[in-house]
Amino acid sequence: MKTILLLRHAKSDWGDPGLADFDRPLAKRGLKDAPLMGEALALFDCVPDTIVSSPAQRARQTAELVAKACGYPPKNIQWTDSFYGGGRADMIVALQRLPNQIESAMLIGHNPTLEETAVTLLAANAGGDGDGAINLRVPTAGLLCLEADITAWAELEPGDTILRWFLLPKLVKALR
């Protein structure tokens, strides 16, 4: 059994219109929500074996704050350029290339790619082509936990996962 955690970057700051999209940092809310999600991972005893993230500033900050809060060494985060501007295939291939000793992996990225990746992993025929099979909306700092009944990451195919849980910062705050 392999566990896949999909995390959308936390809320970004749109205050500087001259800033390139790649360089947009987290907003105040994002700076609070990211560590909150990391704390939830630690509380659920669900710290990933590896974290792979987009290198865009808002995703980078999210990854580092989540890692620190859950006890994952931030220096071990892997930065994957294709997670910024790439597609769901980039995220799925990143999972398929993981070493088999890794049991749980967290991917941190952007919409719509993160949503499309989740939909593809949950339903092979949904594929994000607009057929309406699954309509999934992941808000900023939204965290999904998927499980795949596989022993090797290379075996992962569209439709192979089930949704174990979906956590939002608002819910974590309400439970505090």
For every one of its 176 residues, what pLDDT tens digit does the chain have, with 9 covering 90 and above? Answer: 999 999 999 999 998 989 999 999 999 999 999 999 999 999 999 999 999 999 999 999 999 999 999 999 999 999 999 999 999 999 999 999 999 999 999 999 999 999 999 999 998 665 445 455 678 999 999 999 999 999 999 999 999 999 999 999 999 888 87
pLDDT for position 154: 98
Please say whether the beta carbons of 175 and 124 come within 8 A: no
Q: Count up the domains in the chain and report the number.
A: 1
pLDDT for position 161: 96
Q: Which pairing describes strands 78-79 and 104-109: parallel, antiparallel, or unpaired?
A: unpaired
Any idea what the CATH number is for the domain that residue 123 is in? 3.40.50.1240
Nearest Cα to 62, choosing from 116, 137, 8, 113?
8
H or E segment and range at residue 35? helix 28-43
pLDDT for position 130: 45
pTM recorded for the entire structure: 0.94
| Burial (0-12, 13-18, 19+ Cβ within 10 Å), 157 | middle
Query: What is the span of the domain harbouring residue 124?
Result: 2-103+111-175
Please say whether the beta carbons of 164 and 13 come within 8 A: no
Q: How many CA atoms lie within 13 A of 117 on its CB side?
A: 32
Please say whether the beta carbons of 70 and 47 come within 8 A: yes
Give CA–CA dist 142/136, Å, rounded. 11
Total residues found in the chain within this entry? 176
